[in-house]
Every structure is written in structure tokens, then in C-alpha cells.
Amino acid sequence: MDTPLKSHQIDLNTRVKRIDQQQTADLVGELAILNLKTGKYYGLDEVGTRIWALLKENRTVLEIRDAILEEYTVEPARCELDLVRLLDDLKEHELVEICPAPDRSI
């Protein structure tokens, strides 16, 4: 049985992007990320590396999920669950930040 999500801050409409204070190293299909603020490393597998590339721009979780569903064979519900967990973990490790919703006022 799946464990509950750690955070309810991240949902399909949440906009997420990488923090600026990080460096990455490509490790042949995997990625190592160094948080320059904390000095800690974080590793990503192939799919995580693709998600990291998608995080270069301010995107919604829905946009990222849809891109992953187009590129990989995975059930949508499983993809969403794993994606939110990964983003929550990256946020906890101070590697991504939640972006404010765009101002739609005129």
C-alpha cells in the first residue's frame, strides 16, 4: 500500500522550478545535484533526470506529468503520485521552489 504524501503543498496546478544555488553533474544516465547552500548531494535516476530538465522552466506539475506520460510507459495515477513525491523530496532538500501563481489581474 502506498504511503501518504508528506506535503499537500504540491498538486497538479503547483508551479515548481529549480533553485539557483545548485550545480549538477551528468553521471551517464543519472544526475548528481549539489545544493551549494547546504553542501549536500542528491542523486536522480534516468526519469528523475528528465524531470529535472523539465524543471529548468517554471512549469506546473500537470505539464511535467503530461511530458513524462508522453515519453514513458506508466499509468497516469502512478506517474502523478511518484512525481509529487519526488518534487516534495526535492523541495525538502531545498533543490526546487514553489513559484507563485501568475497574476491574472488586469
For the chain, what is the mean pLDDT?
88
Q: What is the mean pLDDT of residues 84-102?
A: 90
- Which domains can be identified in the chain, with CATH numbers? 15-99 (3.90.930.60)
57/51: higher pLDDT: 51
Q: Grade residue 85 by pLDDT with cuts at 50, 70 and 90.
A: very high
User: In this predicted model, which residue has the larger pLDDT, 57 or 46?
Assistant: 46
For residues 61-83, average pLDDT: 96
Predicted confidence band of residue 5 (pLDDT cuts 50, 70, 90) = very low
Nearest to 76, CA basis, from 59, 62, 90, 56: 62
d(CA 67, CA 54): 8
